[in-house]
């Protein structure tokens, strides 16, 4: 198994946090294989946050890697559902 970097999304996976999260993910992309996202504590997420994850996932896929959700909060599920991104983000795999 390749290196697996864990990124904690914190309580907000939203536009005001995406720059910070982008920097973490960019660093992780350079060093890691798969990336694990901890999103169980996310209280609020929006299109910018989920779009960032989707872009990260697409880039990872090109190198044969992927994102694993370690945990997913209700908020992430709700907003993904509204945006039709549940399947694209592999959230339907989660319990």
Partner 1 sequence: MSIDLSQFHQIFFEESFEGLDVMESQLLDLQPQEVDAESVNTIFRAAHSIKGGAGTFGFMQVSEFTHVVETLLDEIRSGTRSMQRNYIDLFLQSVDCLRAMLGSLQSGSEPDGERAATLKASFEKILQQSADSDSQVTEEKPTVADEGCSNGWRITFRPAEDILQTGNEPFRMFRELQELVGADNLTVIPLTDNLPEFTSLHPENCYLSWVLEVRSDVNRDDIAAVFEWVADDCDIDYQPLSVAAAPDIPTADTAVTEMAESAVSTDSTEPVSAVIPDKVSEALSASAAQQAKPAARTAGKSNEPSSIRVSIDKVDSLINMVGELVITQSMLGQLGQDFDMSRLARLQEGLTQLEQNTRELQESVMKIRMMPISFAFSRFPRLVRDLGGQLGKQVNLVMLGENTELDKTVMEKIGDPLVHLVRNSLDHGLETTEQRLAAGKPGEGTITLNAYHQGGNIVIEVKDDGAGLNEERILNKARQKGLVPETQELSSEEIHQLIFLPGFSTADVVSDISGRGVGMDVVRRNIAELNGSIEVKSKRGKGSTFIIRLPLTLAILDGQLVKVKDETYIFPLVSIVESIQLQKRSLNHVTGSQYVMKLRDEYIPIVRLDELFNLRASDDEFENPMLVVVEGDNEKVGIVVDDLLGQQQVVIKSLEQNYKRVTGISGATILGDGTVALIIDVSDVGKNLDKSAKGQSRSDQAA
Q: Report the DSSP pairing between strands 34-39 and 4-8.
A: parallel
Helix axes 47-62, 74-83, angle to 10 degrees: 80
* Min CB(93)–partner 1 separation in Å: 7
Using a 10 angstrom Cβ sphere, with 0-12 exposed, 13-18 middle and 19 or more buried, the burial of residue 93 is exposed
Q: How far apart are CA 34 and CA 16, in angstroms?
A: 25
Residues in contact with partner 1 by CB under 8 A are 14-16, 18-19, 21-22, 25-26, 29, 43-44, 46-48, 51-52, 54-56, 58-59, 61, 66, 74-75, 77-88, 90, 92-93
Nearer residue to partner 1 within complex by CB, 6 or 55: 55
* Min CB(38)–partner 1 separation in Å: 19
Phi then psi for residue 9, to 5 deg, are -75, -10
Nearer residue to partner 1 within complex by CB, 3 or 26: 26
* Min CB(9)–partner 1 separation in Å: 13
């Amino acid at each position: 198994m390749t290196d697996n970097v864990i990124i904690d999304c914190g309580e907000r996976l939203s536009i005001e946090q995406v720059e910070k999260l982008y920097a973490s993910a960019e660093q992780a992309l350079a060093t890691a294989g798969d990336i694990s996202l901890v999103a169980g504590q996310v209280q609020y997420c929006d299109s910018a946050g989920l779009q960032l994850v989707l872009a990260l996932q697409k880039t990872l896929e090109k190198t044969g890697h992927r994102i694993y959700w370690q945990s997913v909060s209700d908020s992430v599920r709700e907003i993904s559902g509204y945006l039709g991104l549940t399947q694209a983000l592999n959230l339907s795999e989660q319990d």
